[in-house]
Amino acid sequence: MGLSGKSYSIQPISGNLNFSQARHLLDRTLFGANKGEIDAIVGKGISSAMTVLMQTPKAISFPISIDAKDVDVTLGATWINAPYNGTYNTYRLKSLYSWWIGNMVQQNTSLIEKMVLFWHNHFVTEMATVVNASYLYNYVLVLRNSALGNVKQLIAEITICPAMLVYLNGESNKASAPNENYGRELFELFAIGKGPLISPGNYTNYTEGDIREAAKVLTGWRINRTLNKSFYDSSIHDKSVKLFSEAFNKTSITNKESSEYKELIDMIFSQKETAKYLVRKLYRWFMYAEIDQNIEDNIINPLADTLYSNNYDIKPVLAQLLSSEHFFSLDYQGALIKNPIDFAVGIFRKCEINLSSNILSNYEIWSSMYYACQAMDMTLGDPPDVAGWPEYYKEPSYSELWINASTIPQRTIFSDTLSLTGYTKGGYKYYIDPFLLASKISDPSNATTLVNGLALILLPVPLNAIQVAQLKEVLIPGLPDSTWAFEWFKYMGAPNDLIQKGLVGKKLQAVIAQVLRFPEFYLS
Amino acid sequence: MERRKFLKYTSSTLAAPFLFQGQWMNVMAQGPTTDWLASYNPDRKLVLIQLNGGNDGLNMVIPISQYDNLVKARGNILVPQSQILKLTDETGFHPAMPELTNLYKDGLVKIIQGVGYPNPNLSHFRSKDILMSASDSNIVVNSGWLGRLFSEKHPDFPEGYPNSAMPHPIALTIGSASSAICQGELANYSSVLNSLSASYSNSAGNVSYPETPFGKELRYLSGMMEQTEGYLSVVKAAASKAKNLSTRYPAAGQNALADQLKIVANLIAGGLQTQIYVVNLGGWDTHSLQVGSLSDKSTGAHPLLMSKLSVAIAAFEDDLKLMKKSDEVIGFVYTEFGRRIKSNDSLGTDHGTTWPAIVFGSKINPGIIGKNAVIPSVVGKSDNLELQTDFRSIYASIYKQWFNINDQTIEGLLGKLFPEVALIANNSDVIADLPVKSLRIWPNPVEDNASISFTADGSLAQIVIYSMSGQQIESYSPQNYAEGYMQIRLELGHLHAGVYLLVIRRRKQSESVKFVVR
């Protein structure tokens, strides 16, 4: 099973993964997979592939000081424990987002990095608002530590982390002057989601009154700006009894001081609707934007049951979705438009671009990737607002919103640069080595095998006949296939002949650049 | 996305719900006609300035008459009365907006007080959706208020666009994401431009798309790639044909709104025929520190934003004047909601309801519509300003007074009629000419032939048939029809299956009606 065009079954696929199934699974769960990574799970059953994806990720290093102007921290040492400094903070923020991109580029076969970005898009904070790099590092760490853990644990930590206290005004939420900002988004965006407005101030799943009561529960949290940590201050906590609406069966929450907010979270998460809301977001992240009644009934509901019955542990629900016949339906393979980070990091990973031994150069290329993604309309650390990127919630276009007359040229510029010229940072050139990619193909001397082999690694679907002809036209314009075989063997016979290597390499580069421009490469 | 293909495959189970889902389609099917095409003036342009986050309008358009009670409600963020820039004895702008105050005094600014909608929603995202779609607050409509208009005129978009009849973008968002305002039933009509230096070339080789989610997205991407190439070149050509003339723009990077409006002015001066331009200024969600400090309430985040708005509009208007394009352009400043009357203890304001709209341009009928809100001496935390004008009244007025769209069409586009506000000066001559619609065609869908009827005015008239992509299919000789009711039989059996537009061209007022051939 699993090869049917369109399946609405949540049952796991049987049999062993073939190459295109393995590629589909890894391209969705990693930031693109290279040939070796795909080969490593080909022939495995789906459950052992899940074991690999759920493994504890490899240890990561700390973000380091990358600018000598930050005199508080030695160049190359980590800044995470250094006191806040308004002047040096800019360098540390650059280090932080570069480090984050670097973690994605260097990921192993684990779901962790895709899930960290998922949670960032869900529990949004914005660097531009939070500013303090130490708070933001702490925020990313909270996301990482629970990315594959438990959602309730994660939201509890997020609720009181300094970055969120700043971002949604939790620190100015006091008994004497409640600030509803976090309370509102907790309901609307972070947990249960908004239903239809059924009467004034009543959004079905919660009410304006619930927001006001939740804001009271959430009072009392402040930030110690020396230690970069949050702490509980009983004197500003609202100690009254908080009364919730019928949506929560008129629950009342009495004063529990510093643990009270966890009771609020328990209350919201005891609603099945919260599990459904979270599952729909996971579905849109890993699967496809459109959820019709069929998918709601056959996919979303059983997944929500799994999430709920496992008390919001995230691994069982992910395994169920990613193992399902539905996930492997051919109709959905290649149906997800890659976001800019998936696109940019994916080129690095799929084409196996080598990093430098100089860590500072690597931070520079990761920083360049951050800016490239920003130009493609996705700024890591700075979603456009608290709802996250509209590509994951905005009907009816969803991820099609990534694609427009301004972002397409930006994607092209990035892929062209890596395939044709490379980016040079700190004296090191980051580029797609066309011979390395060609070496992954069974017979690179055969022009047809060569272009189809590149597509097998880079694209979610095989080339059509027009594309094969088009790529061969780039490789050997107006010439017979034998010309390519001749030139290729000439290079193989004398690999140190740099002129011949350059000749063949240029042709390969032009073909790779064209494959990366195909609309299919924008899809996963 | 592909109307023609849809019509070929009407039995497809995939295509039908895709086209007709949602109740708006039902409203659309009965309501609008494309009469406005005939009276459409291609020189008229609309610039939409979106203030993202929810503007504290009470701190922008200040009711001086209510000052004493304002002090009680929001003393921690209120500027001293002496600093308010008076527009009338009763009402003034915040001191951060001297440029806009001067424009007001020059008769280029209209302010509409208390804009909002019934049963307000205080969520940014939902309220923005309501503003974009022009729906009632309890109905979700996915298309935008201008997107629906474009869906009528360009139902095949983006297939076959750009083309010789419509070489320029239908709408243009300056930024990097298409505005939801321009979301049509099937496609977003706004092209996107974030700088004039982007370049692109593509050679996607796709020919067939399966009817699957994969096929849908691949087709979308391929279409966008081709379209991108086409529009960028005309936009760049327009940009290179003219230069900004005003010296009042701040240096690039200082004022994001001014940077965007500068591009718009450049393109208009260069002859771009695009009629809708969408620009944005974010940062208005001022829950805390909207003023710098208790000791200086005239500076801080909100005054800075207001200053940017004021400077940007003034520079833009100055530019248009120097380019002699003032009469072609109006601007409309809006936000998703206003903020509460009472400020909070974080020197900020929380989500509220109504807000003041600003419309500007040399063709504007200047002044203030609506009255100052009455601020009671005791204001509760959740108290809001009263609703005076539904935002859809402004949309309806723009449709009618600026784009000359008739009431019947407006009713179809907005779902119902809203009272107009007088936005445009001296527009009565144009409006008065709009007759009651008389053109009919039956049966519809037509078979081999059809009957048409209309009211003739005694002058020369010509019947023409267009495809929905604007191509002329058939034209009959112009004739002097006798005044009064006229009925004619047309042979239409030779037309291919599809949707067509029947137009009767007259010197004074043309009319049109859509019909289907099976």
pLDDT tens string, chain B, 518 residues long: the values are 233 222 222 222 222 222 222 222 222 222 333 434 434 466 899 999 999 889 999 999 999 999 999 999 999 999 999 999 999 999 999 999 999 999 999 999 999 999 999 999 888 778 888 999 999 988 878 789 999 888 878 877 776 788 888 889 999 988 756 688 998 866 778 887 765 544 333 334 445 688 899 999 999 998 888 777 678 788 888 999 999 999 999 998 899 999 999 999 999 999 999 999 999 998 898 988 899 888 888 999 999 999 999 999 999 999 999 999 999 999 999 999 999 999 999 999 999 999 999 999 999 999 999 999 999 999 999 999 999 999 999 999 999 999 888 888 888 888 888 999 999 986 543 333 333 467 878 777 787 778 887 777 777 788 888 877 667 788 887 788 877 777 788 888 788 877 888 888 776 667 777 888 87
Tokens linked to A303: 């997944």
CB contact under 8 A, B350 and A179: yes
Sheet strand arrangement including B91-93: B61-63, B91-93, B85-86
Residues of chain A with pLDDT under 70: 1-4, 478
Question: Of the candidates B231, B130, B223, B180, which has an alpha carbon nearest to the alpha carbon of residue A391?
Answer: B180
pLDDT of residue A244: 98
- How far is Cα B209 from Cα B206, in angstroms, rounded to an integer? 8
CATH fold of B37-430 reads Alkaline Phosphatase, subunit A (3.40.720)
For residue A399, the chain B residue with the least C-alpha distance is: B217
Which residues of chain B make contact with A519, given a CB cutoff of 8 A?
204, 206, 218, 221-222, 225
Which residues of chain B make contact with A215, given a CB cutoff of 8 A?
none
pLDDT of residue A402: 97
Which of A404, A410, A523 is the best substitution to test chain B (most B C-beta atoms within 10 A)? A404
Work out the minimum CA distance from A293 to partner chain B, whole angstroms: 13
Which of A332, A339, A398, A406 is the best substitution to test chain B (most B C-beta atoms within 10 A)? A406
The residues facing A424 across adjacent strands are A429
For residue A474, the chain B residue with the least C-alpha distance is: B203
Work out the minimum CA distance from A175 to partner chain B, whole angstroms: 11
Which residues of chain A make contact with B176, given a CB cutoff of 8 A?
375, 377, 404, 406-407
Work out the minimum CA distance from A301 to partner chain B, whole angstroms: 21
Q: SS3 for B174?
A: strand
CB contact under 8 A, B178 and A407: no
Number of residues in chain B: 518
Q: Cα A353 to the chain's mean position, in Å?
A: 20
Q: What Cα–Cα distance (Å) separates residue A214 from each residue in A180, A186, A248, A254?
A: 8, 9, 12, 12
Which of B141, B214, B349 is the best substitution to test chain A (most A C-beta atoms within 10 A)? B214
Handedness of CA A484, A485, A490, A495 (dihedral sign): positive
Which residues of chain B make contact with A409, given a CB cutoff of 8 A?
198-200, 228, 232
Which of B1, B218, B337 is the best substitution to test chain A (most A C-beta atoms within 10 A)? B218
Residue with tokens 């690694």: A457
Phi/psi for B127 (5° steps) reads: -65, -35
- How far is Cα B142 from Cα B180, in angstroms, rounded to an integer? 8
- Is the bond preceding residue B445 a cis peptide, omega within 30 degrees? yes
For residue A466, the chain B residue with the least C-alpha distance is: B205
User: Are the C-beta atoms of residues B107 and B348 closer than 8 Å to each other?
Assistant: no
- How far is Cα B362 from Cα B329, in angstroms, rounded to an integer? 8
CB contact under 8 A, B200 and A409: yes
User: Are the C-beta atoms of residues B468 and B499 closer than 8 Å to each other?
Assistant: yes
Answering whether pTM is above 0.90, one says no
For residue B118, the chain A residue with the least C-alpha distance is: A200
- How far is Cα A238 from Cα A257, in angstroms, rounded to an integer? 9
Which residues of chain A make contact with B198, given a CB cutoff of 8 A?
405-406, 409-410
CB contact under 8 A, B212 and A332: yes
Residue with tokens 């629906």: B148
Q: For domain B435-518, give the CATH number.
A: 2.60.40.2550
CB contact under 8 A, B232 and A405: yes
- How far is Cα A202 from Cα A233, in angstroms, rounded to an integer? 32
For residue B133, the chain A residue with the least C-alpha distance is: A395
Work out the minimum CA distance from B350 to partner chain A, whole angstroms: 8
pLDDT of residue B9: 23
The residues facing B449 across adjacent strands are B491
Q: Where are the domains of chain B?
A: 37-430, 435-518
CB contact under 8 A, A172 and B345: yes
pLDDT of residue A478: 66
For residue B195, the chain A residue with the least C-alpha distance is: A406
DSSP A261: H
Helix H or strand E encompassing B110 = strand B109-116
Q: SS3 for A202?
A: strand
Which residues of chain B make contact with A521, given a CB cutoff of 8 A?
none
Q: SS3 for B349?
A: coil
Which residues of chain B make contact with A223, given a CB cutoff of 8 A?
none
Q: What Cα–Cα distance (Å) separates residue B460 from each residue in A32, B40, B478?
A: 66, 20, 6
CB contact under 8 A, B207 and A377: no
pLDDT of residue B471: 72
Which residues of chain B make contact with A377, given a CB cutoff of 8 A?
176-177
Helix H or strand E encompassing B335 = strand B329-335
For residue A288, the chain B residue with the least C-alpha distance is: B213
Which residues of chain A make contact with B214, given a CB cutoff of 8 A?
330-335, 460-461, 523
Helix H or strand E encompassing B358 = strand B355-360
CB contact under 8 A, B192 and A466: no
CB contact under 8 A, A337 and B221: yes
CB contact under 8 A, B193 and A518: no
A-B contacts at Cβ under 8 angstroms? 157
- How far is Cα B268 from Cα B167, in angstroms, rounded to an integer? 15
Task: Out of B208, B213, B231, name the one closest to residue A331 (CB).
Answer: B213
Which of B52, B119, B121, B123 is the best substitution to test chain A (most A C-beta atoms within 10 A)? B123
pLDDT of residue A413: 86
Question: Of the candidates A413, A423, A425, A417, which has an alpha carbon nearest to the alpha carbon of residue A364?
Answer: A425
Which residues of chain B make contact with A179, given a CB cutoff of 8 A?
287-288, 344, 346, 350
The string of DSSP codes covering B446-476 is B-SEEEEEEEE-SSEEEEEEEETTS-EEEEP
Which of B136, B143, B200, B382 is the best substitution to test chain A (most A C-beta atoms within 10 A)? B200
Work out the minimum CA distance from B207 to partner chain A, whole angstroms: 8
Which residues of chain A make contact with B287, given a CB cutoff of 8 A?
169, 179, 181
